[in-house]
A and B are shown apart, each in its own frame.
Chain A
Amino acid sequence: MASRKVPIKAVLIDLSGTLHVENTAIPGAVDSLKKLRGTGIPIKFVTNTTKESRRCLFERLIGLGLELRKDEIWSSLWAAQDLLRSRNLKPMLMVDDAALEDFSGLTDYGEEEQNAVVIGLAPSMFNFSQLSKAFRLLLTGAGVPLIAIHCGRYYKRCDGLALGPGPFVRALEYASGCHSEVVGKPSPTFFRSALGDVDPAYAVMIGDDVKDDIGGAQAMGMRGFLVQTGKYRTGDESRISPGPAAVCPSFSEAVDILLKEYAQSEGDS
């Protein structure tokens, strides 16, 4: 791996498949995270989720022995509430009940006040009458945004595959003619909001999803380190062009590269 002189100002780390798989930490991840912390480089934990609130994610990760602060978690749900607040929007929320706690203060707008539609995963609202209501809201005027937590086609449920948010976003787009804003990975908005004012050129994304993590991050100017854990499948690195800035057996090796680069940039200064 060629060493670089560019200082690293932020590291974004995917959760599922990169730091843990279900309720088990990836071997070496806890210690490597501790070592990365030693550099003092700001870290954000980034994940696409439609039902886990920040608190819920936090508790899970702490339970795995990972060291982090709650405000370092940047999920697609969190990005959505951040966007709503920054634009002063009053949403019709189609999200899982468990996710509502991330939207405190944004949940009680009456139908006449609502001026945005947010699609997460809400099976109890994904029906003719509620979707038609969302559709009518989108038509009430220009500038009612359709905000998608992410556009996943489907997900695995204990009884088989089930429809994700994506199909319902497409349904509303088709009927209303408007385009959704996707707040989760791989949307550039997501990475930008997670980075705050850090220049993407100085940031690294570590993840196991070659398209959403690596492709998405690299498309907006970050470097992407692909880990060969979680959902990684042989040959994934050649599915995007340009390929990942680094391909690592696991999170630990990705951190080793960062530590080496960090030592070098410190040595130069």
Chain B
Amino acid sequence: MNLLKNPRLNGVLLDVTGVLKDGGTAIHGSVEAVRKLREAGLKIRLVTNETQVTRRALAENLLDLGYPVQELDIVSPCPALISFLQRENLRPHLLVHSNVLPEFEGIDQSNPNCVVLGDAAENFTYEHLNEAFGILINMKKPRLFSLGRGRYYSDKEGLMLDVGAFTAALEYAADVKAEIIGKPQPEFFRSTLKDMGVEPEEAVMVGDDVVSDVGGAQDCGLTGVLVRTGKYRPSDEKHPTVHPDAVVDDLAHAANLILESRK
């Protein structure tokens, strides 16, 4: 059975957390799958909302796990946000993970005129959220940026709240609508495809987040494949609005499906 019959398939967008790795380890079969996709000549980008580490650190981590990737293969929200901040003369108040602070070096953060939320994890304390709220509520036109708007992800301790939950909290408190940078924002997918030189209908996105990965990609005209790894839950297959083009056990199966579809 092949659900993805598409001889033009040329570009593959892979989510990282929950597809390539889970916690600190590679997901079984995924390293081999990426290698096979590469060898078949497909263009690959790792499209992640990961904002707990820099792209460089993530690339190093993936190399350690055996993935044939480099920093430039990784598309993450931070660089996109930073060029946006610079274009618009925005000085952010950051509520992000301390690991990604280096990405913001050289960005003026004095007298902030916007708030940026990332997956701050342990940095999401009441006082830190209050601080961000205090800045928003005192702005004439509050601007809140969210690096992705994921609901949750899976970690060593189990499922953990992702940035989207805290974005929803601040949106409600300060009566503001956040501007999303990252998946499922269409611009994020489009600029990635443009950079790859691939049309939406020539591309497939593989992810474990039915809304952000699969739904976001489909909204831009890509094929969306859901894997049953990472944060996947059986209820995702009965999602009221998102219907994946295919649901497979893991990236290994997704890769087979993709390679088959081009024949």
Mark A residues whose CB is within 8 Å of B. Answer: 123-124, 126-129, 131-132, 135-136, 139, 153-154, 160-164, 166-168, 170-177
Closest approach, in angstroms, between the C-beta of A39 and any C-beta of chain B? 42
Q: Is A171 a contact of B126 with CB atoms below 8 Å?
A: no
Q: Is B126 a contact of A174 with CB atoms below 8 Å?
A: no
Consensus secondary structure, chain B interface: helix
Q: Is A171 a contact of B168 with CB atoms below 8 Å?
A: yes
A160 to B127, CA, bound (A): 12
**Across the interface, which residues of A come within 8 angstroms of B126, CB to CB?**
123-124, 126-127, 163
Q: What would 5 A/B residue contacts be, using CB atoms closer than 8 Å?
A: A128-B122, A131-B165, A135-B161, A136-B158, A175-B164
Closest approach, in angstroms, between the C-beta of B102 and any C-beta of chain A? 21
Q: Is A135 a contact of B172 with CB atoms below 8 Å?
A: no
**Which residue of the partner chain, among A139, A161, A164, A175, contacts B165 with CB atoms under 8 Å?**
A175
Say whether, besides A154-B173, A171-B166, A127 and B161 are in contact (CB < 8 Å): no
Q: Is B164 a contact of A127 with CB atoms below 8 Å?
A: no
Q: Is B152 a contact of A127 with CB atoms below 8 Å?
A: no
Mark B residues whose CB is within 8 Å of A. Answer: 120-127, 129-130, 133-134, 137, 151-152, 157-162, 164-173, 175, 233
Q: Is A128 a contact of B121 with CB atoms below 8 Å?
A: yes
Q: Is A128 a contact of B168 with CB atoms below 8 Å?
A: no
Q: A163-B126, A175-B161 are in contact. List 15 more A-B contacts (CB 8 A).
A: A123-B126, A128-B123, A128-B125, A131-B165, A153-B175, A154-B133, A163-B130, A166-B172, A167-B133, A167-B172, A168-B169, A172-B165, A174-B164, A175-B152, A175-B164
Q: Among A131, A166, A175, which residue has the most Cβ atoms of chain B within 10 A?
A: A175
Closest approach, in angstroms, between the C-beta of A132 and any C-beta of chain B? 4
Q: Is B125 a contact of A163 with CB atoms below 8 Å?
A: no
Closest approach, in angstroms, between the C-beta of B252 and any C-beta of chain A? 27
Nearest 4 Cβ contacts at the A-B interface: A167-B169, A174-B168, A171-B165, A128-B124
Say whether, besides A123-B126, A163-B126, A174-B168, A131 and B173 are in contact (CB < 8 Å): no
A-B contact count (CB 8 A): 91
Closest A residue, CB atoms, query B171: A170
Closest approach, in angstroms, between the C-beta of A19 and any C-beta of chain B? 29
A214 to B187, CA, bound (A): 46
**Across the interface, which residues of A come within 8 angstroms of B172, CB to CB?**
153, 166-167, 170
**Across the interface, which residues of A come within 8 angstroms of B233, CB to CB?**
139
Q: Among A129, A135, A166, A171, which residue has the most Cβ atoms of chain B within 10 A?
A: A171
A229 to B127, CA, bound (A): 33
A96 to B122, CA, bound (A): 21
Closest A residue, CB atoms, query B120: A128
Closest approach, in angstroms, between the C-beta of A97 and any C-beta of chain B? 14
Closest approach, in angstroms, between the C-beta of A136 and any C-beta of chain B? 6
**Across the interface, which residues of A come within 8 angstroms of B167, CB to CB?**
174
Say whether, besides A127-B124, A128-B121, A132-B160, A163 and B165 are in contact (CB < 8 Å): no
Closest B residue, CB atoms, query A161: B137
Closest approach, in angstroms, between the C-beta of B42 and any C-beta of chain A? 34
A261 to B198, CA, bound (A): 77
A103 to B169, CA, bound (A): 26
Q: Is B162 a contact of A129 with CB atoms below 8 Å?
A: no
**Across the interface, which residues of B come within 8 angstroms of A171, CB to CB?**
161, 165-166, 168-169
Closest A residue, CB atoms, query B152: A175
A266 to B186, CA, bound (A): 69
Q: Is A174 a contact of B129 with CB atoms below 8 Å?
A: no
**Across the interface, which residues of B come within 8 angstroms of A126, CB to CB?**
125-126, 129
A166 to B172, CA, bound (A): 8
Q: Is B152 a contact of A135 with CB atoms below 8 Å?
A: yes
**Across the interface, which residues of B come within 8 angstroms of A167, CB to CB?**
129, 133, 168-170, 172-173
Q: Is B168 a contact of A132 with CB atoms below 8 Å?
A: no
**Across the interface, which residues of A come within 8 angstroms of B130, CB to CB?**
162-163
Say whether, besides A123-B126, A170-B168, A174-B151, A163 and B159 are in contact (CB < 8 Å): no
A166 to B169, CA, bound (A): 8
A161 to B144, CA, bound (A): 18
Q: Is B173 a contact of A128 with CB atoms below 8 Å?
A: no
